[in-house]
Amino acid sequence: MSNSTIRHDWQTDEVLALYALPFNDLLFKAQTVHRENFNPNEIQISSLLSIKTGSCSEDCGYCPQSARYDSGLKPEPLMPICDVLDAAQQAKSQGATRFCMGAAWRKPKDSDIERVVEMVQGVKALGMETCVTLGMLTDEQTARLKDGGLDYYNHNLDTSEDYYSEVITTRTYQDRLDTLERVRNSGINVCCGGIVGMGESDLDRANLLIQLANMPQHPESVPVNMLVQVEGTPLMGTEQLDPLMFVRTIAVAKIMMPKSRIRLSAGRNEMSDEMQALCFFAGANSIFYGDKLLTTDNPMTNHDLQLFDRLGLKSAGSSYA
């Protein structure tokens, strides 16, 4: 069997065995898979903008945008389209090829979808790929986004089904799976991953990756986030995850989903250059670029460019291999 065989039948013991490999063996295996499917020295660059901030009715324990927590975040309504397009143009000028727009909704109204479609069409007119994350969707809303030209829809599973209720109670795991199925059935590319470092077990991390890899079609983009602890949220004070366990998670994700772009997402601001370099070697080949990730800090663009230069990495087009 090839290292890059696409599988949808991963079992828990297999995945735990990958996690348990000696670190060098695991990274060698992941890098081998990576090279079979991608140029190992190219990074796809996305930029993320919060187009509607705060006042969310959900209780996600990691999120400062929840109206239930006093995180000091100032709520902001849906941005004017001209401001969104200005931000997209700036992101493009800094090297981003995909522009992602996030709105803190449990589920958007149909009128909201119409405004988002206008944003999508404006960003596409700049020659960029588009991605949005808006919460749960109806069939009609999903179809409208597809008709409007949306390229990617982000809807993370966050963690394993078993651990999910420890983090979120206002939306079920099945709700998330249902939204992902709607997006996939509509023909929109799927962006779906999770967050590690929320107090979950090794088994939970393995089961999250199994849930993703055993979908009928792997997500084209798999964001792997490190928990960013925010004052006022329930997960503030959670024990920090071993950085090498985060790198292992990147590597195992790459082995299980060979043709997916594994995105190094939230938490990069707390990662050393050396840790990020290990993640790139382990198969991460996409990042969020810019100084903000929705509401939390991200490494400054110039620092990213300097790191890419030191590592001999260059920006890639974002077509799915």
Q: Which residues are known to be catalytic? A: 56, 60, 63, 100, 131, 191, 263
Q: How far is CA 155 from CA 9, 12, 17, 300, 303, in A?
A: 22, 23, 28, 25, 28
Residue 192: φ, ψ to 5°: -150, 130
Q: Which residue has the tokens 């069409």?
A: 121
At how many degrees (to 10) do helices 12-19 and 243-256 cross?
A: 130
DSSP secondary structure string for all residues of 185-229: HHTPEEE--EEE-SS--HHHHHHHHHHHHTSSS--SEEEEEEP--
Among 60, 131, 148, 150, smallest CA distance to 288 is for: 131
Residue 318: φ, ψ to 5°: -105, 20
Q: Give counts: helices (H), strands (E), the chain.
A: 11, 12
DSSP secondary structure string for all residues of 173-184: HHHHHHHHHHHH
Which amino acid belongs to residue 105? Answer: W
- In whole angstroms, give the CA distance from residue 42 to residue 32: 15
